[in-house]
Structure formats: structure tokens, C-alpha cells
Amino acid sequence: MISFIFISTCNASEKIILEDYINSFAWKKRIVLFITKSKYVYFINETDNFFRENNCENDNRNLLYIRIVGDEIKKYNISDKFENKYGMWLIGYDGQIKSYSSDISLLKKIYNIIDKMPMRKKEKLEQTSKCN
């Protein structure tokens, strides 16, 4: 089951510190952070579809999808690293950005990027894929 993160409960005065939120998954999850404006419907739909249609492969790679679209950005305290930037970032277990794209191109190569990571190579040896 893919992990979609949609944060909908937040007081206007209490913003989520995005960097802290991402760091809370350190050494537990790889993350795809997706930040975009509402007007980019194609980008949103393609990204959402990718995560919906590839549950098994994403779970197999321990991949968490954090989606921030449109006005949802107001719920967050954004660090300089992400402020006024849109697109998707692949963030490794160590919390470091492994790749970025401002379009859907990252989705086409994300598994190759992850599968080349040393920790992923170890995971592949220890796990049996249940994906078709």
C-alpha cells in the first residue's frame, strides 16, 4: 500500500516545518517531495497516477510520496532549499536530495536512480519482490 501524505489538519497559526517533517522519515523512507501550483494539472495528474499505479514497486523501494499542491503550501514553513521552487525531489534515507526535476522526467528514471543506491542494492539481496 503506497503511502500518500496529504496533511489536511493544521491550524493557520501552526505551520508544519517541512524540513523537520522530511527529516522525521530519515533512515526509514525514501521520499518523493512534490510541490507544484494548482494550475499545472497535467503535472499533478501524471505524478498522482504514477504513485497510484505503481504501488507495489514504490512500496518495494520504500518510497513515500509527499504531495503539496497549490494553497497547501501555506500550511508549511518552507526552507530556502524548497522555497519558491516547484517540481519533484527524490530524497534518500539520509535526507539528502538525490535528484530533482521540474517536470515528470524524474518519474521515468526514478527506479533506476534508486536501484543504483548502495542501500537499495543491499535491500534487493534481502527481499523478495512481490511485484509482477
Name the phi and psi angles at 86, rounded to 5.
-130, 150
Asked whether residue 37 is domain-assigned, the answer is yes
Total domains in the fold of the chain: 1
pTM of the model: 0.86
* Position 132 in a domain: no
Instruction: For 17-53, write each residue's pLDDT tens digit.
Output: 999 999 999 999 999 999 999 999 999 999 999 999 9
Give the CATH number, domain containing residue 42: 3.40.30.10
Residue 131 lies in a domain: no
Task: Summarize pLDDT for 67-107 with one digit per residue, the tens.
Answer: 999 999 999 999 999 988 999 999 999 999 999 999 999 99
Domain ranges, residue 51: 3-126
Q: Tell me which of 26-30, 63-67, 124-128 is least confident.
A: 124-128
How confident is the model at residue 13, as a pLDDT? 65
Does 91 map to a domain? yes
Whether residue 86 is contained in a domain is answered as yes
Instruction: Say what the pLDDT of residue 77 is.
Output: 94
